[in-house]
Amino acid sequence: MTTMRWTMASVILVCLAPLLGVLVALGVTKLTGCTVHEGFANPCFVLGLDVGGILYALAVSGWALLATLPLAGILGVAWAVIELVGMASRRKVAAETTPE
């Protein structure tokens, strides 16, 4: 994979990271029966540790998706266009160098 592909994939994954945080928070709250909302951190004990603050931070990180999700979409479309242009140019070069 080229450097551009690795870079684009990495940036898109970073843009989607807040979604992973929200999904983890929802999964833990479903498993433990804890309550998580955006008002304040509620106590939530898992294996004797209060993880309410961490779950609150993960759940509220979903608001970052308002900025990062459109960015990921724009980068995904730009990446697709770059790949299509590259594919078309490679086909053109291959057609020109192929003997008839």
Give tens-digit pLDDT for 21-43: 999 999 999 999 999 988 898 99
Whether pLDDT at 72 is above 70: yes
Residue 100: the pLDDT is 62
Specify the pTM: 0.70
Q: Where are the beta strands (DSSP E) in 2-100?
A: 45-46, 49-50
Residue 28: the pLDDT is 92
| Mean pLDDT of all residues belonging to the chain | 88
Whether pLDDT at 76 is above 80: yes
The Cα–Cα gap between 35 and 74 comes to 34
Q: Where are the beta strands (DSSP E) in the chain?
A: 45-46, 49-50
Residue 1: the pLDDT is 55
Residue 95: the pLDDT is 74
The Cα–Cα gap between 74 and 55 comes to 29
DSSP state letters, 34-61 = ----SSSPPP-EETTEE-HHHHHHHHHG
Residue 3: the pLDDT is 85
